[in-house]
Amino acid sequence: MIGLAAVGAFLAVDLGAVAYAGGWIGTGGEFTRQTFIDGFRAVFGSHPGFRKNHAKGVAVTGYFDGNGSATALSTAAVFRAQRMPVTGPVSR
């Protein structure tokens, strides 16, 4: 019964948050994409040409040397015994 009550409580909170964000309940201002972006701009300033949030990032480039041991588990080319170029983001 405790598990069912916990699921019901989470569902009530989630539905309440959706209703509040949609403007169906509450007396707060309208929550739109633009008000969200304006909030970021007010806190962090305007940075033209960059994403509004998480704009700082580091990319890595290199090679992944597969040894062929995972070919029994997957047919993906990256798991073959060969060198594959890799480029990707690093999050902090």
Instruction: Report the alpha-carbon distance of residue 45 to residue 43 in Å, rounded.
Output: 6
What's the pLDDT at 40?
83
Residues of the chain with pLDDT under 70: 27-30, 54-56, 91-92
Instruction: Report the alpha-carbon distance of residue 27 to residue 90 in Å, rounded.
Output: 41
Range of the domain at 65: 56-92
Residues 72 and 92 in one domain: yes
> Taking a C-beta distance cutoff of 8 angstroms, is the pair 52, 36 a contact?
no
What's the pLDDT at 10?
93
Residues 41 and 60 in one domain: no
pTM over cut 0.75:
no
Structurally, how many domains does the chain consist of? 2
Residues 2 and 41 in one domain: yes
Residues 40 and 70 in one domain: no
Instruction: Report the alpha-carbon distance of residue 76 to residue 79 in Å, rounded.
Output: 6
pLDDT digits (tens, 9 = 90+) for 25-38: 776 666 778 888 88
